[in-house]
């Protein structure tokens, strides 16, 4: 099964992958990973009502989110203590979409 990804067969593959991404991202940014006093508040909130997350608990949440949830499981995101995703939608979606379209038109012109 997919637990071949985790160094310990009893360990959650979702947790192993999530922690790897968390620590790798922090290392790339030159910041400490995790929640710490005085550090930037970077958080994600999953939607407990999402079908793939129903009746899940402990590390099974991460397993389901990483491997099965697809769209709609991410409810909110905060970066530097400011919310940037609400109800699964980026708060600057329209501006980002417009900027992307303009950049794409420039590249393809």
Q: What DSSP line would sit under 21-57, residue for residue?
A: HHHHHHHHHTS--S--TTS---EEEE-TTSGGGTT--
pLDDT at 50: 93
Helix axes 59-67, 13-29, angle to 10 degrees: 80
Domain boundaries, the chain: 2-108
| pLDDT, tens digit, 9 for 90 and up, residues 28-78 | 989 888 888 888 888 999 998 999 999 998 999 999 999 988 888 999 999
In CATH terms, 2-108 corresponds, of 2.30.110, 1.10.1200, 2.30.40, 3.40.50, to: 2.30.40
For residue 72, what are its two tokens?
């709609």
**In this structure, what is the dihedral angle of CA atoms 63, 69, 70, 73, given to the nearest 10 degrees?**
-120
Top mean pLDDT of 17-21, 29-33, 65-69, 102-106 is at 102-106
Q: What distance in Å separates the CA atoms of residue 77 and residue 40, rounded to the nearest whole number?
A: 13
Q: What is the pTM of this model?
A: 0.75
């Amino acid at each position: 099964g997919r637990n071949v990804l985790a160094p310990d067969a009893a360990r959650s593959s979702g947790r192993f992958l999530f922690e790897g991404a968390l620590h790798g991202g922090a290392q790339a940014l030159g910041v400490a990973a995790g929640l710490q006093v005085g550090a930037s508040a970077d958080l994600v909130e999953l939607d407990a009502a999402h079908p793939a997350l129903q009746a899940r608990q402990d590390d099974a949440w991460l397993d389901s989110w990483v491997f099965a949830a697809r769209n709609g499981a991410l409810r909110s995101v905060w970066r530097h203590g400011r919310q940037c995703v609400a109800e699964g939608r980026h708060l600057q979606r329209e501006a980002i979409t417009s900027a992307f379209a303009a950049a794409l038109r420039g590249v393809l012109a």
